[in-house]
């Protein structure tokens, strides 16, 4: 009797122990076929505040992508429900937006936030809640290092600038350069760090390193000093407004057009050519995306974006657009709207066709795709050859 009851109990325990495993495998199999309903995806952009120049194009592009995905039936019966929140370009705003998206809307993944420092403040909340985050514009260091749920599709400058320096060096053969950068902004400071490393690695001499602050408008002191040193090229890591003033003033001070100005990610704005006018001619910058790229779907994206919003997309728009497609692909592969399953599927993405080109994540969840070098000709960015 005793052994029988023991046996019975053991069987019961094994059954109960196996039950959850059995149950979840069934549920997963069922979900593969029945991905349905609305899948909530959060998006946190800087639509107001300091970074409001970047946020709106990200919002537009992500909404366009979600609309196209839903129309195409890429996810079968399921539809993406994009929930956009504004972080007011502040860390506090990003933290509360993440909180709201995760706890109230129960989103399966989050795109954004726009700024790297906001990401550093808010991403750990998603990491702790096991909700994947796909950053589409954070280029600073220390983003994906926050945890295994944090991804990005925006090439960090550390990956873009070595290529820029290499290509321009081959063309112009410069040996000594001067650097001018904004040291009070994460974006431009990160660009400087990347340039410095690339220049050191490729044995190019840095004659001088000059700095300025955001919203400065007079750069004549720094540029006069640089002019006296006669560099072969000038490296500028600045946001579009300051970069435009720097270029106009450099040419006004008589730095010849034969000295090319090479810029960081901040140059990647149509504003640059608008503000600097003829002085912007010949400005070179490395980028993750170029409007004339012949990557799959890029032409259709540019046309659809222009049709819907009446303006050309910029790099931030392209990266946000690609981001939604990357997430959708991960959801499709996972066949489930479970955040952990989506994370696992996203980590395995290799050679996905996006507007950025063939896209993969490396083992650290950093993006892998070919950067481009572009030059301003007649007020437009064209491929640098």
Partner 1 sequence: MFEFLSNNISTINFVLINISLGLSIYITLATGLLSLANAGFMAIGAYTVAIIQTQTHIPFSFGFVMAIALGVTLALPIGIVALGLRDIYLAIATLGFGEIVRIIALNGDKVVRLFSTNKDVIVFNGAEGITLAYKTPTIIFGLPDTTWPILIYCLVAIYILATLHNSRYGRILASIRQDETAASTLGINVARYKLFAFVLGSAIAAGAGALGAPIVRVVDPHNYVFSRGVDILAYAVLGGMTHWVGPILGATVLTSLPEALRFLKDQRDIVNGLIIMLSIIYLPAGLADPRVWTIPRKLFALLGSMRSSARNDSKGL
Using CB under 8 A as the criterion, which residues of the chain lie in contact with partner 1 when the complex forms? 48, 84-86, 88, 91-93, 95-97, 99-100, 103-104, 117, 120-121, 124-125, 127-128, 140, 142, 146, 183-186, 189-190
317 contacts 287 by C-beta, under 8 angstroms: no
Whole-number minimum distance, CB 91 to partner 1, in Å? 5
Whole-number minimum distance, CB 269 to partner 1, in Å? 19
Q: Is 338 left (phi over 0), alpha (psi -120 to 50) or beta?
A: beta
Whole-number minimum distance, CB 49 to partner 1, in Å? 9
Nearer to partner 1, 86 or 241 (CB): 86
Sign of the torsion formed by the C-alpha atoms of 200, 206, 210 and 214? negative
Three-state SS at 330: helix
Nearer to partner 1, 85 or 314 (CB): 85
Whole-number minimum distance, CB 65 to partner 1, in Å? 19
Nearer to partner 1, 100 or 271 (CB): 100
Q: Which residue has the tokens 């309903």?
A: 37
Provide the strand spans (E) within the chain: 38-45, 79-86, 109-111, 133-135, 150-152, 176-182, 205-212, 233-237, 261-263, 284-287, 352-354, 357-361, 367-368, 372-377, 380-383
285, β-bridge pairs: 263, 374
Burial annotation 221-256 (CB, 10 A radius, 16+ → b, else e): ebbeebbeeebbbbbbbbbbbbbbbbbbbbbeeebe
Q: How far apart are CA 165 and CA 181, in angstroms?
A: 16
For residue 274, the tally of other CB atoms under 10 A from its CB is 12
Please report how many Cα atoms fall inside a 13 Å half-sphere around the Cα of residue 311, on the Cβ side: 13
Sign of the torsion formed by the C-alpha atoms of 252, 258, 264 and 268? positive
Q: How far apart are CA 155 and CA 139, in angstroms?
A: 6
Whole-number minimum distance, CB 54 to partner 1, in Å? 15
Pairing assessment for the beta strands 176-182 and 205-212 based on DSSP bridges: parallel
Nearer to partner 1, 99 or 281 (CB): 99
Nearer to partner 1, 184 or 303 (CB): 184
DSSP character string of 208-258: EEEEE-TT----HHHHHHHHHH--SEEEEE--HHHHHHHHHHHHHTT--TT
Nearer to partner 1, 150 or 328 (CB): 150
Nearer to partner 1, 237 or 338 (CB): 237
Q: How many residues does the chain have?
A: 385
Whole-number minimum distance, CB 193 to partner 1, in Å? 9
Whole-number minimum distance, CB 299 to partner 1, in Å? 30
Whole-number minimum distance, CB 234 to partner 1, in Å? 21
Whole-number minimum distance, CB 227 to partner 1, in Å? 25
Nearer to partner 1, 130 or 299 (CB): 130
Nearer to partner 1, 140 or 302 (CB): 140
For 253, residues 6+ apart whose C-beta sits below 8 A from its C-beta are: 220, 223, 224, 227
Whole-number minimum distance, CB 48 to partner 1, in Å? 6
Nearer to partner 1, 124 or 379 (CB): 124
């Amino acid at each position: 009797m005793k052994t029988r009851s023991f046996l019975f109990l053991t069987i019961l325990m094994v059954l109960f122990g196996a039950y959850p495993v059995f149950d979840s495998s069934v549920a997963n199999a069922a979900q593969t076929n029945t991905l349905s309903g609305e899948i909530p995806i959060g998006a946190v952009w800087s639509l107001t505040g300091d970074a409001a120049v970047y946020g709106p194009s990200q919002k537009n592009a992500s909404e366009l992508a979600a609309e196209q995905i839903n129309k195409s039936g890429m996810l079968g019966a399921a539809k993406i429900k994009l929930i956009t929140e504004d972080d007011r370009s502040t860390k506090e705003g990003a933290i509360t937006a993440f909180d709201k998206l995760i706890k109230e809307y129960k989103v399966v993944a989050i795109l954004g936030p726009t700024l790297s420092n906001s990401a550093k403040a808010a991403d750990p909340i998603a990491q702790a809640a096991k909700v994947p985050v796909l950053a589409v514009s954070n280029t600073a260091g220390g983003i994906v290092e926050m945890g295994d749920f944090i991804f990005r599709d925006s090439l960090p400058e550390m990956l873009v600038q070595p290529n820029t320096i290499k290509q321009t060096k081959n063309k112009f053969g410069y040996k000594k350069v001067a650097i001018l950068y904004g040291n009070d902004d994460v974006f431009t400071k990160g660009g400087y760090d990347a340039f410095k490393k690339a220049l050191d690695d490729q044995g190019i001499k840095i004659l001088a390193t000059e700095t300025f602050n955001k919203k400065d408008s007079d750069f004549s002191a720094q540029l006069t000093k640089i002019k006296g040193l006669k560099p072969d090229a000038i490296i500028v890591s600045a946001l579009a407004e300051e970069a435009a003033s720097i270029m106009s003033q450099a040419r006004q001070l008589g730095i010849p057009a034969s000295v090319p100005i090479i810029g960081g990610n901040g140059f990647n704005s149509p504003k640059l050519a608008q503000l600097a006018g003829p002085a912007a001619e010949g400005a070179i910058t490395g980028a993750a995306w170029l409007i004339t790229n012949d990557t799959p779907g890029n032409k259709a994206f540019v046309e659809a974006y222009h049709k819907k919003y009446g303006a050309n997309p910029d790099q931030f728009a392209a990266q946000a657009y690609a981001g939604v497609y990357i997430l959708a692909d991960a959801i499709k592969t996972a066949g489930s709207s479970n955040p952990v399953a989506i994370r696992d599927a996203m980590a395995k993405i290799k050679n996905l066709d996006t507007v950025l080109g063939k896209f993969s994540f490396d083992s650290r969840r950093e993006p892998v795709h070919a950067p481009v070098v572009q030059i301003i000709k007649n007020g437009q960015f064209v491929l640098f050859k």
